[in-house]
Amino acid sequence: MRTNLLVGSGLTPQIKEEWKTATLCSSQLASRAIVGGAGWIGWDDVNLKPQDVTEYIHGNQEANHLQLKLEFLLTREKAGSWVDNKGWDVQRAGSLTLFQLRWLREVKCLDLVDRAKLIQQIASVQALSASVPPGQPTLHDWRDVRGLFFTPGWPVLEDTYYSVASLEILGGLDKIDREECIRGILPASWQGIF
């Protein structure tokens, strides 16, 4: 499995040493296998160290600008409301967001991300009242998901998990109402609001 993963990622034994770091940075499969911690592959398997990637990303920010931009870090989703038959294009913290932040933390490159803007965007999705930021989906039954992170049409506990886990990595948990989030999670898990 390791061999197939490495070959599928372009990290073959024949790869030139100077291309290895760039190949690893561009391979979501290989970087996920390292960061995911499932034991699929480790840094020794790719014959690199986290600091090699740190130096590469810091030294080649133009080549790596996609993984550092807010537009790339957040997942684009479609939100919809059956109440008023409207749809919205939204950006939310999703599985890709969480993976990317874990990767950037692993290679000590979170300093290259606009943390304040990313934290603000993620925290703004927490349902605390009926008022929502401009361009965001209307929350008709906001009391049902109070304290949670909610995109109409998407699993509320999944949205909440990705948002809270991302905020924890970014150091932004102080920007949300944690007590309301806890209160929201506990009943949501047994009421089936997912």
Distances (CA, A) of 8 to 21, 36, 44: 15, 17, 17
Distance separating the N- and C-terminal Cα atoms of the chain: 34
Distances (CA, A) of 145 to 91, 94, 132, 157: 19, 18, 13, 10
143 located within any domain: yes
Residues 17 and 102 placed together within one structural domain of the fold? no
100 located within any domain: yes
Per the structure, the complete domain to which residue 42 belongs is given by: 2-48
59 located within any domain: no
Q: Identify the segments of the chain with pLDDT beneath 70.
A: 37-39, 63-68, 70-71, 80-84, 133-135, 137-138, 140, 188-194
d(CA 71, CA 172): 18
The one-character DSSP state at 89 is E
Q: What is the pLDDT of residue 78?
A: 77
- pTM score: 0.82
Residues 40 and 122 placed together within one structural domain of the fold? no
Q: Encode pLDDT of 119-175 as tens digits.
A: 999 998 898 887 776 667 667 677 888 889 988 778 889 999 999 999 999 999 999
61 located within any domain: no
Residues 143 and 75 placed together within one structural domain of the fold? yes
Q: What are phi and psi of 68, to 5 degrees?
A: -105, -10
Number of structural domains in the chain: 2
d(CA 130, CA 140): 7
